[in-house]
Amino acid sequence: MQRLIEGFKKFREGEYPERISLFQDLATRQEPGTLFVTCSDSRVVPELVTQREPGDLFVIRNAGNIIPSFGPEPGGVTASVEYAVAALGVEDIVICGHSDCGAMTAIATCQCLEHLPTVAGWLHHADAAKAVNDAHSAQLRRGPGRGDGARKRHRPAQQHQNAPFRRPGSRSGPPYAPRVGL
């Protein structure tokens, strides 16, 4: 904790005065261009890896950078996505995974998480993504003639299945349809 306190003092006395105009401008408004969804993992620092400034990214973080499918029960992730898209009007949505992700490893290897029941429940939001991903992997393993073309079509299924947006032709979903770069 002492390191955090010292870090905040350093920021307040050093970087804050140097960038006072930016922070004053952001004091009463925000216009982030990007919704950035990533893992809670301490090693992922969105503003650092994208070289963005305060106010540029609207960030959602959780275990495994998972976006639950759209449903009638409100959730923090869904509410944040709705706010970013419908209220802030973000132009881009990025779902950023990372290497050595504990959540994704647990899903991929079907780890028993009886000692972490809440985590286990949360990761079930990725069940559909895992099923699709497993099917794609099996298809890739099977086929002759499924070379580069097949690999190009293969994408982390989580990005496709867990995004709570209504796609053209789908019959359910929230009443907004942002441009999602999947």
The contact set with Zn ion (CB under 5 A) reads 39, 41, 101
Q: Is 101 a catalytic residue?
A: yes
Distance in Å, CB of 40 to Zn ion, minimum: 7
Catalytic residue among 3, 43, 141, 142: 43
Task: Name which of 101 and 123 has its Cβ closer to Zn ion.
Answer: 101
Within 8 A by CB and 6+ apart from 69, the residues are: 125, 128, 161, 162, 164
Handedness of CA 162, 168, 173, 174 (dihedral sign): positive
* Number of Cβ atoms within 10 Å of the Cβ of 143: 10
Q: Is 41 a catalytic residue?
A: yes
Backbone angles phi, psi at 6, to 5 degrees: -65, -35
Task: Name which of 49 and 135 has its Cβ closer to Zn ion.
Answer: 49
Q: Is 127 a catalytic residue?
A: no
Catalytic residue among 12, 98, 155, 167: 98
Distance in Å, CB of 38 to Zn ion, minimum: 8
Distance in Å, CB of 91 to Zn ion, minimum: 25
Task: Name which of 98 and 167 has its Cβ closer to Zn ion.
Answer: 98
The single-letter code of the amino acid at 179 is R
Q: Is 39 a catalytic residue?
A: yes
Within 8 A by CB and 6+ apart from 173, the residues are: 70, 164, 165, 166, 167
Q: Which residues belong to the active site?
A: 39, 41, 43, 98, 101
